[in-house]
Every structure is written in structure tokens, then in C-alpha cells.
Structure 1
Amino acid sequence: MSVFKYEKDADGIVTVTMDMTGPVNAMNEEYNVAMNETVDKLEAESGLTGVVFASAKSTFFAGGDLNMLLAVKEEETEEFFNGILATKERLRRLEKLPVPVVAAINGAALGGGYEICLSCNHRVAINSKAVQVGLPEVSLGLLPGGGGVVRMVNLLGLQNALPYLLEGKKANAEKALKAGLIDETVESLEELLPRAKAWILENKDNEDAAVQPWDRKGFKIPGGNANSPKLAQVLMMAPPMLRQKTRGLLPAPEKILSTAVEAARLDFDNAHLVEARNFAYLACKTPQAKNMITAFFFQLNQVNGGSNRPKDIAPTSVKKVGVLGAGMMGQGIAYVSAMAGIEVVLKDISQEAADKGKAYSEKLLDKRVSRGRMTEEKKAGILGLINATADDADLQGCDLIIEAVFENMELKHKITQSTEGYLAENGVWGSNTSTLPITQLAEGASKPENFIGIHFFSPVDKMPLVEIITGDKTSDETLAKAFDYARQIKKTPIVVNDSVGFFTSRTFGTYIDEGIHLLTEGVNPIQIDSLGKAIGMPVGPLTVQDEVSQELARKVQSTQQEMGLWREPVDGNVTGEVVEWIVGEHGRGGRHHGGGFYEYGADGSKKIWQPLVDKYYKEDHGVSEQDMKDRLLFRSVIETLKCLEEGVLRSVADGNIGSIMGIGAPVWTGGYLQFLNTYGLDKFIARTKELAEKYGKRFEPPAIVVEKAEKGELFS
């Protein structure tokens, strides 16, 4: 029995209801067979009036088979290319049927799903939050290969199509209608199929209804073709702007732009050949695609789906959260919690400090209102959920309290002991520490089994990750509750075991440390930061140290040394020595302390602090640019391997998602562990040994990667 249900009614309209094996409809071999059979049958059908494509799933159609895309090899490029042409040919035959074809969109139609919709003459969708349309392939290192680039350019024009193609921009039903991505909406599922059929009957005498715009005589692409003077400036500026954004590390956006330009220059069918060839190149020949598919689809779904959440524990939700400390982190935690509809008690040592913390939420909400993304009424409701206070008693009944005060063990213990009693029965205590071990922090709690680390990243409202850290006595119930809270506030939670610096802070520190190693070896500080960005990091390591605060780095080291937690770096404490010089001798604590490695102007400008150059820069430092780039990247990869080896990381997926979303690892890597799979484990081991010989033991490959290589295994 076909997974495409084929029904013809008394009016001669065939409804094809897609109901494929598995939870979603997807472009796999099952789809190829079903679509081929369906198009054959439609072409042979007598008395046909029109066709409606519908879905029996909650989504309309999910897109391509990503497992197949991961498995395809470079030597299979030509075979893959021919397969893409076959997929395109089926959709081309569909849109050339002599009767109107309508897409009845009941849910998400993304990627290949929206390409099917584009092959229909008319698109009608439910006006529901469940509906999303778009072509997000760029986020997976790919381009829309089923005709998405070509049809989108022909539908909207080159300039209007580019945001949907280059940014993977998605649209809900309302926005899609306004943009011309769909043609009409209905208010309910019950109205969807009847309306699709009604449109066919309304247009049975309209010959153009069965002909795609690009197949009509005299058709011109909206806004002009690629040779149009109107588009000349856009096409001249687009490549350098794109290169500046991708830094040449992401081939997909460049291939998309090239394909889109060709779609606006060539005839329709030849443009499809270009699209197919470029899609085959990205899928078969670029490691970026395999890295990004692995991380941003499979592993992100694995992490968000609760792979590290204890099983057999019922889902929970937080109704009232206490946030201790209304500073930068606390105010952000309060905001995201209130946005999720949670009652928040934002507590600080003074009412003034607490009010200032609440004002942060008001400022963010005002921005939403000014942009038309929120009503004043909604804003007032969210602000009403935040109780800014200096009174501990207001914490009574919180099912979760998150402490977000300075990184000082004694202070944190004191706060835990004085306010833990206000928790509801079986309430959870969470610490937003970024470095201090949870097991030792829990010593200040009367119920260490209810104590857990909930590490947010700054700014909390923008950063998508939460790092959950379990102590030696943290219970499974506590972990499950913390995980559920993170999902409740729409964050992605990774779960790690206890360690100084956990996973993210510990690994991130190596990027900064290597930048400072390069500095002391004589490399120009501006070049160090430039090469950090050249490998795909958001900013350079010296800039990061200034932003995080030189003063904070000094205090963290001092605290760890006092507590006996300090681990002496294998190649010497270079960072500590430089920080002591710049802070201790010169009082330069970082950007928010008047300056650090850089000097900062009131107008937002910055320039390197000249004494830094005078002290360290050597024109003949002898470090090659490739060595610099590899060192900046590999230090973090090596530290991630150590975290996996030591059991700090519970899974490869947590390491990859955590490194990208929390540390800012280059997206093209797919995360620091996935990077190894496509770089090659043997190649990595050989290269790290070279670096270790030249620059120090910190580059020696950890045993775990050597063992994997010997067994011929990958990190999965």
C-alpha cells in the first residue's frame, strides 16, 4: 500500500494525502517511490480537474533525509547529482500537469517540504502557530536542492528571495501570506481541504491557474533578472559582504548566492542543473555540511529531547523561582523566567539594587513593544510577575532558588544557609557558578541531594545554553527538575559532571590562554585577535579576556589557589603572569575597569594598549600563521577531549552543542568533537604531536583520541 493515499472525488479532484512511515514525511527512498507512482497516476488520470497535496501528519512535510546526506561519500557525487535531478524531474512533472495543483499546508513545511509547495500552483495554509514555511538548509551547510533556490528567485525576485535563502529565514502563516510565500489562509483544519478544492473549482475556466508563473509566455522575474541595472549594485556588494560575514569558512552561503544569481540569469531548466550541481558539491564534498547536520539537527534534538535527563521521572514545571543577586546574571535569569510565565522573586541586598535589576527586564520589554512584537498589556503582565525585593521572606514557597552572586565559596555558603529554608518542600537550590565545584558548594546546604549547578551564559536573554552540573550527592529528581526548568525557559540544557570550571569555562579558558601564549612569544596582539576570528570564533582571545574581565580572571585564580583547587598548567602559568602584570602592576582590569589589553573610547572605539606591544611584540617571533590558527583551535579541542576522557562530559552531543552554544565554537566545526570526525583522527594526532614538539606538552593528544583512532572509531 502506498504511503501516499490517492482519492478522487465526484468533481474530478484528486487528494494526495502524504502519510509516510515514521513520525514525519521526509524526502527519502520511500518518498521517491511514492511520488513517482503518484505523478505517473496523475498524468494518466482521465477526467482530472485538479490535485490537492495534504498531510496526515501534524507537520506538512519535514524535508530531506539527513541520514542519507550524512552517509553520502565524495566518490558518490555524480550518482548523488543524478538522484537530485530525478527528484527535481518529479516535481517538474507535477507542476506541468494540465490542471491546478494546490498545497494544503496544515503544519511546518520546511526545506524539501516547502519545495513541494513551491511546485504547486496555489498554497493555502492554516493560520496557526504550527505553520512555518521556509528553506533553512543554509543552517545545515546545504542549499535547497529540490528547486527551492530557483523557484524562490522566480517567485519573489532575487533581492527579496535572498534573506530566505542566505539566512534560512522562516515565516509563520501570517508573515508568509504577506511576503507572497503562500496565497491564502484559513482559520481551522476543517476548512483547509474544502478551501483547497473550492479554489480549484473557482479556477476551472482559468487556464493560467494550472500554469506556473515562470512557465507563462512573457514571464519576467520580479525586480528584474541578474543583468538588470537595478540589481547591479546589490550583486556587486553581496559577495564581499557575505565573505565578511562567513570569513570564507562556510561554503553554503556562497554557493546559495551563486545559485540564486544563476537562477536570475539562466532559463528555468538550466538554472536547475546549476542548483543540483552545487547541492551535490555541498552534500558530498564539504565537511562543513556533515558537521552542521550532525550538530544542529541530530545532536541538538538529542540534547533537547532529554538524552541526559533521568528517565522514569515525571515532567515538572517551576511556578515560583527565587533569584538571589540582581546583577548582570540575576537580572537576565529573572527576565527569561518571567517571559516563560514564571513568578519571580528578584532579591538583592537593597531594594534599590533589586529595582535596578527589574528595570533591565522593563528595558528589554520596551524594545519589544517599540518593534511591534509585544503589546503594552502583555509587557505589564510580564513585569507584574517580577517581585523586586530585599526581603528574604518573599522567597517563601519557591520551588526553585537560583543563587547568582560573586564567585566566592564562603559567600555562597552563607547565602545558601540563610535562605534555603524558604524553599517549598523538595524544592531545588541552583547555583549559577561558572567555576566552583558543585559538590563543595553543596556542603553549605542541609539537603545536598537537592543542590545543583545551573550555569547561565551572558547575556542570558540571548545565549541559548544552560550548563547543568551535578554534584556527588545531587539526586536524579533534582537533575530532572533543573532540566525541565531549562526547557521551560526555552534554553538548551547540557548536563555535565562536577569539575573545577566544569566543561564550558574550563574549555573556553584554553582559547584565552593560547592567545596569551602567542602574545608572550612575540606575536602582535592585533594579529592574535584577527586570527581568532579567522578560525570562526566570534571575537579574538585577547578581546574576550578584556570583556570577561582581567580582574575576574585574577580573582578566580586566587580563589582556586586558596581552596586547593588550582591546577598548575603543564607549560607554566603564562596567563596568570600576564594578568598579574597588567592588573597588579598597571591596574588594568579589563574593559569595564577602564581598559585592559585595549584602550576603550567613550564613542565605542578601541585601540591596542601600546605598552603591551612594547613589552611583548617581536617582529621575528617565528610562529607561522597556520600554527597560530591551529593552536587557537586545537587547544579547545584537546580540552574537550580531556573533559570527555575524565567523565566531565556525559556525551559527545553535550560536548558539541555546549561548545557551539556556550563557548562560541566555530559553527563550521559542528562542535569540538565532531570537528575531529571530518578532520581525521590520525591527521589530528599527527598535527598535535608536531605542535607539542614545537610549543609544549599542552598539545599532546589525549589518550582517548589515540584509542579511538586505533579502533577506527569516530566520536558519536
Structure 2
Amino acid sequence: MNKNLKYFHTEQNTQGIVLIHPSTTDSDINELDQLEEFIDIALIFLGDPDIKGIIYRNPLSAKETAYKAIYTLASHSDIFEKRLSILLSKIPDLQHHKPVISIVQNDCLGISMAAALWGSRRIATREARLGFSEARYGLFPGFGATVLTSRLLDPEKAVPFLTQGTILTAVQAQEAGLIDQVVVDLTEALESAQQYILQNPVLKATMSPLPIHTEAFEASAAIIRKRSNGLIPGIDHCLQMIRDARELSLGDALIQEAQHYTKVWNSPEALCMLRTQYYGIREAIRPDTSTGFELKKLGVIGAGMMGSGIAYEGARAGMDVVLKDVDLTQASKGKAYSEKICNKLVQQGIMTENAQQQLLGHIHPTDQMADLGNTDLIIEAVFEDKVLKAEVTTESLPYLNEKGFFASNTTSLPISELASVSSKPENFIGMHFFSPVDRMALVEIIRGSKTSDDTLKKALQVARQFGKIPIVIYDGPAFFTSRIFFNYLLEAITMLLEGIPANEIELQARLAGFAVGPLAVLDEISLSLMLHVYDQLPELHASQKRCYNYLTKLVTAGRNGRKSGKGFYNYDSVTGKKAIWQDPEITEADHLPAVDQIRKRLLHVMSLDSFRCLDEGVLQHPLDGDIGSVLGIGYAAHTGGVFGHIDQVGLPDFVNECQAFAEFGEQWEIPPAIKQLADRNFSFYSGFDSNWK
């Protein structure tokens, strides 16, 4: 049979057991083609009376899912749905009569995991990791995965697993019910599979509908719906399929899944999320070994929350970290921050006590600047004050080694200006980490006017060593993420002063897809911090001045945010619960705008300023803006980011809607360049590719 096969090799032993595995490692092969050949081979063997069973390993030769290829296929929706339906309709025949056993090794994710579920039994080696990351990209697990998982697990357990991109160890998967047996290695897996086939020659799988605990399912689904607000089609279709998987026969449910899967692939949300959160991130973290730079010793100045977090990340990456503060007690508190993180990881079973001690051994708190001697990189993370940053920069620079470079962790202060105190401004760069550093993946790399290419490459390398996702920004007031984020906050204050109720602004922000409402964010960062940022800007336009004056009034009244116990919310000192506060001095507007107008203003204002950043050269690529907006400041994930949002709206409509908001302030001024692009019906992307040159 092998001579007629394009993608697979088969082996048959004397006991009538067949092993099927890929015959090629070509990663460019279409996965649908491979799976079609695999299932046809398997069914031919199962029809042979001399064959007792089948063992198969991952039928896909590619290590990673070729989403672009699937997108191309799915864009011809009728053909794709038909092929997928035919493929999935054959799965019940794999699970009936004779045993078909899948061996799960290494990382078995996405479509590979789906194919592993096709068999009647699954055996995993101990190091295997299993799961579906599709939900992170606006999709849902297809190729039979959602239906088969929902028939193996109780629906209330299937819901979070299928919709949250959870990755399980082999043992966890066995405990959940996805894996039948965990073994040491492939040899033991093959022996166990053969033994099972010989001992269980006949199977009677359930093809009919299964019972569903409706109340438990709906409770679990409600949690997911609340998080997504119905904005991500993949999640909505997945929840529907989890129910259908139980209420329909296996065959009918699989056909339904093919229909839902095709619809999701043809949604703009899936394309935008895939482009940003899969391909964009993969490109951002692609390693570059051309620098020859090796970071062994890291100096961090400032042991506050940011500096402590940076020290933790450096130690986690295996670097020796000198954590400097004005006194040893404060520096030691910074190390204690890392110990607290490690303690939690140890309790969760994620980190061993030995690994904890090794990590903490890399952090050396000090109050002596001289301890920074011969560092490869110094990152200052002191308070956002130009004078203070200049002082620590001047004092610490002599301790850098010859090949080292200096980075400022700043939210908004101009890098070129901060670098002016350095005798080697070409070795000075901005590295804007996000808080909390150990949980936020993004790092904004800010290139000053004199930053060298070599320093930029080194900073990117360090960010990747930290396990972060870097984007490159060119110097400008508040850079990129902070700049557009302040416009989000500005628009919220503007609407509040127009008489739109605070609770309505917060609600519509969440329903628009933002991770957190703007007023809640202001309370978390403190109103005085935003005032401080405004103080650092060269000048304020009228809308910003109105916002500044109002925030000043609140701070003067003691409403500075969560830390002061009140801001735009009131905080219970005992329970910590918060309740929205409506300023009694602001009169509610006689005619409130439609809710979609509130949502558009919050989304559009950030996208419009993002275009200004692109037009001014602060941003070089739209994809950097999309990654930064989603990962750094919680922009609506279903849009794919600020430029994905413009494409979903359509540039002509976007410009017209922004022009209609002109009465609300200078933040709505339309750059001539975007009008010209709108006249051409320009889009920032064609599929996965950027149109911006």
C-alpha cells in the first residue's frame, strides 16, 4: 500500500496491528490534504478482516498549524465546508468496531490534538503537552476537536478548556479525561497500545446523543460570554457546538461543527486576531543572533514595583541582577517581590524549591552604585522625573562595561532628551515595560534620535531573553502606547464633562471590548500620575487642559484613585469592593448619545491617534501598533488592534465618523494624509499582509 501513499508510511506486524505515521517532514503540506489521506488509509485497513487495530502518531508533518493555508482554503467557503464535512463524517467509523489508538508525544496542540481525539483510545508520553490555542486567535478548535472533547468531558469542564486556550500536561489531561494512559516513552506507548488492541478486539462506542446538565453548562458558558461580550465569533460558535455535541448524534454534531468552523474562518475578527496574536507575535519574538552580545550582568536602578519586576525577569532569564536603590532596606524589599512571586509558583507546583533558590540567588540588592561595575546593561526604573532620571543616569553610566548599553524604563519622557546627559547617546535606548512586569508580555523599545542600530538590536535581544514581545517605536511625546492610551482616558473625561454618566461610560467601554473601563484605569494608576504625565508634555490643547483642570480639582478634593480610597470609584476599606461615583457637580446631559456612539468614540480616538503616530514616523509598521495596543493597553482584542479596527470599519466610514466627532475636541482633528487614503479606499492589510510601505 505504501507505494500509493503521498504523505504516510504504514507498517503491519504479524499480529494484524498497523502503525501509521507521516513519511515526510515537509512543513508546507496542506493539513487538510494530509488528514484526508490519513483517514482514508485508516478506514481501508479497518475494513480488512485480518487487521485487528491501528496505532497512529501525529498524522501532521508540520510542527505548527498552517493557519494562512487554512484561511486561503476557507475563503472558498463552499468547497472548504464540503471537504471538511466529508472528512469529519468518517470519524465515527474510526471509533467503532476495532480499536484505533493515538500516541501523543511532545507538544500536541491545535489540529494535531484534534486528530489525536479521532481514535478510540489515547496514550500520551510523560513529556507531552496538549491543548487548543485557537481561542486566543478568534477561532475555535475544529477538525472534530470541539465535538469530541465535549463528548469526553462534562460540558461545564469542556467550556473553559476549549475557549481559553488552556494547555495541559499529560497527567493533567489524563485527570481531565482526555487521555486514557500516561507512559514514560514511545516504546512503552507502542507496547501498551498493542497489548490493548489484542485484549480488546471489539469496541462499542456511543454514537447517539449524550445527556447534558443544562444548568451547569449555562453557568460555565455565562462566565465566558461575560468576558467576550459576544464580540468574538469563535467563542460564540464554540459554545453552541459544545451543546450540540451532546444533544446530537456524533455524526450530526460533526457535520454541524464543519459548518460553524467555516463561518468563523470567514469572520473579520478571526483574520485580525490571527494576524496580530499569532503571526505578529511570532515575528516579534523571532530571535536575532547577529549581535554577538551576551548579557550576563544586569543592573536595575530603582526597586519599586517596576524595577523589582524587571529584576525578577532578568533573574528568571538566568542573569545576575544587581538591584540598586537609595537604601538597602528598599532594595531588599525589591528582592522580596521576586520571592513572593516564586512562593506562589512553588505552591502551584509550577516551580520547584530548588529553582526558586537558584532564581533568588541571581538577585543582589544594594545601596552602592559601585556594585553596578562591569554591567552589560543598566535599566533605570526610577520615578517619572527628568531631573531624577538624569541624575541616576550620569551617576551610573561609568559602571557600564565597554560593550554595554543603558536603557530607561519610562512611560512618556522623551528618550532623546534623557540621552543628552550621556557621553555616548548612541548606547542609550528606551525600554518601556508594563506593570506588573512578570505578567505583561509587551516591551516597547523606544529608539532615540542618536540610538545606534547595534544598541537597538541588543535591546531587542534582551527583551526576547526576558521572554517578552518587543515592538520598536521611534521617539516622540509619550511614544506610542502611552500616547494613545492617554487619548482613551481623555475621551472618557471629555464624555463625563459632557454629562454622560460615569457608569454608562464604563459599561460601554467593556461592551466595546476594552479589558478595563477608562475611569477604573485612572483610579488604578492614580489621577496625580496622569497629571504628572501632562506636566511633561510640551503643550496641552484645549481638551487636554479641560481634562487637566478637572483631574486637578478631584485630586485637591482627595479623590486621587484607589490608593486614596476614592477617585472615580469609592473603595470600601474593609472589603476592598468598589462602587462607581457620579460627580454631583456634573449635570447629566438632556439627550444622551446612542450607546454605539460612546463605544465608537473610545475605539476610534485611539485608532485615529495611532494613524498620526504612523504618519509622523513614531510607528513604522501598522502591525507594531496592533500588537502594542492589544497587549500593552487592553485594546479590544476582537479588532486585532487599532489598525485592524480601522480596516473592519472601513477607512472611508472611519474618517467620516471621526469628522462627525470633531465638536468634542482637538483629539478629533483629521490628518490630511488619512483623508487622502480614505479617498482611495485604502486598507492597512490585505489578508495577513501589510499594505503600508
Pair in the same fold by TM > 0.5: yes
Q: Which moved more, 1:406-415 or 1:314-323?
A: 314-323
Match of residue 83 from structure 2: 83
Pick the aligned partner of 1:274 from 256, 268, 285: 256
Q: 1:205 and 1:361 mapped to 2: Cα distance?
A: 53
Q: 2:19, 2:55 within 8 Å by CA — same for their partners in 1? A: yes
Task: Describe the SS at the equivalent of 1:614.
Answer: coil
> Unpaired runs of 5+ in structure 2?
none
Aligned Cα RMSD in Å? 2.7
- The CA deviation at 1:701 is 4.2
Q: 1:587 and 1:159 mapped to 2: Cα distance?
A: 45
Match of residue 119 from structure 1: 118
Task: Describe the SS at the equivalent of 2:112.
Answer: helix
Q: 1:54, 1:60 within 8 Å by CA — same for their partners in 2? A: no
C-alpha deviations, 1:225-263, integer Å up to 9, x for none?
A: 12xxxx243134234333322222223223222211121
C-alpha deviations, 1:585-624, integer Å up to 9, x for none?
A: 43433322453333322121333445xx222232415433
Match of residue 291 from structure 1: 272
Aligned pair 1:244/2:244, yes or no?
no
Match of residue 54 from structure 1: 57
- The CA deviation at 1:660 is 0.5
Match of residue 643 from structure 1: 613
Aligned pair 1:601/2:572, yes or no?
yes
Aligned pair 1:577/2:549, yes or no?
yes
Q: Which moved more, 1:619-628 or 1:506-515?
A: 619-628
Match of residue 714 from structure 1: 684
- The CA deviation at 1:519 is 1.1
Task: Describe the SS at the equivalent of 2:51.
Answer: coil
Match of residue 684 from structure 1: 654
Match of residue 699 from structure 1: 668
Q: 1:148 and 1:667 mapped to 2: Cα distance?
A: 24
Task: Describe the SS at the equivalent of 2:142.
Answer: coil
Q: 2:53 and 2:7 mapped to 1: Cα distance?
A: 16
Q: 1:7, 1:15 within 8 Å by CA — same for their partners in 2? A: yes
Q: 2:486 and 2:146 mapped to 1: Cα distance?
A: 41
- Mapping of residues 439-518 of structure 1, within 5 Å: 439-518=416-495
Pick the aligned partner of 1:156 from 153, 157, 165: 153
CA pair 251-542 structure 1, distance change in 2 beyond 3 A = same
Q: 2:12 and 2:38 mapped to 1: Cα distance?
A: 20
- The CA deviation at 1:290 is 1.8
- The CA deviation at 1:109 is 1.9
Amino acid at match of 2:161: Y
Q: 2:509, 2:517 within 8 Å by CA — same for their partners in 1? A: yes
- The CA deviation at 1:356 is 1.5
CA pair 220-465 structure 1, distance change in 2 beyond 3 A = same
CA pair 315-87 structure 1, distance change in 2 beyond 3 A = farther
CA pair 598-40 structure 1, distance change in 2 beyond 3 A = closer
Aligned pair 1:631/2:608, yes or no?
no
Aligned pair 1:391/2:368, yes or no?
yes
Q: 1:646 and 1:388 mapped to 2: Cα distance?
A: 41
Q: 1:242, 1:254 within 8 Å by CA — same for their partners in 2? A: no
Task: Describe the SS at the equivalent of 1:264.
Answer: helix
Task: Describe the SS at the equivalent of 1:213.
Answer: coil
- The CA deviation at 1:630 is 0.7
- Mapping of residues 104-143 of structure 1, within 5 Å: 104-128=103-127, 131-143=128-140
Q: 1:64 and 1:477 mapped to 2: Cα distance?
A: 33
Q: 1:121 and 1:40 mapped to 2: Cα distance?
A: 14
Q: 2:27, 2:62 within 8 Å by CA — same for their partners in 1? A: no
Q: Which moved more, 1:61-70 or 1:177-186?
A: 61-70
- The CA deviation at 1:626 is 1.9
Amino acid at match of 2:18: V
- The CA deviation at 1:39 is 4.2
Match of residue 410 from structure 2: 433
Amino acid at match of 1:84: L
Match of residue 99 from structure 2: 100
Q: 1:112 and 1:508 mapped to 2: Cα distance?
A: 37
Q: 1:639 and 1:475 mapped to 2: Cα distance?
A: 27
Q: 1:262 and 1:415 mapped to 2: Cα distance?
A: 62
CA pair 677-3 structure 1, distance change in 2 beyond 3 A = farther
Aligned length: 680
- Mapping of residues 356-371 of structure 1, within 5 Å: 356-371=333-348
Q: 1:370 and 1:546 mapped to 2: Cα distance?
A: 31
Q: 2:441, 2:631 within 8 Å by CA — same for their partners in 1? A: yes
Amino acid at match of 1:122: R
> Unpaired runs of 5+ in structure 1?
none
Q: 2:224 and 2:527 mapped to 1: Cα distance?
A: 34
Q: 1:599, 1:607 within 8 Å by CA — same for their partners in 2? A: yes
Match of residue 15 from structure 1: 19
Amino acid at match of 2:560: G
Amino acid at match of 1:287: P
Task: Describe the SS at the equivalent of 2:308.
Answer: helix
Q: 2:193 and 2:220 mapped to 1: Cα distance?
A: 39
Amino acid at match of 2:541: P
Task: Describe the SS at the equivalent of 2:402.
Answer: strand
Q: 1:512, 1:545 within 8 Å by CA — same for their partners in 2? A: yes
Q: Identity across aligned pairs (percent)?
A: 33
CA pair 220-77 structure 1, distance change in 2 beyond 3 A = closer
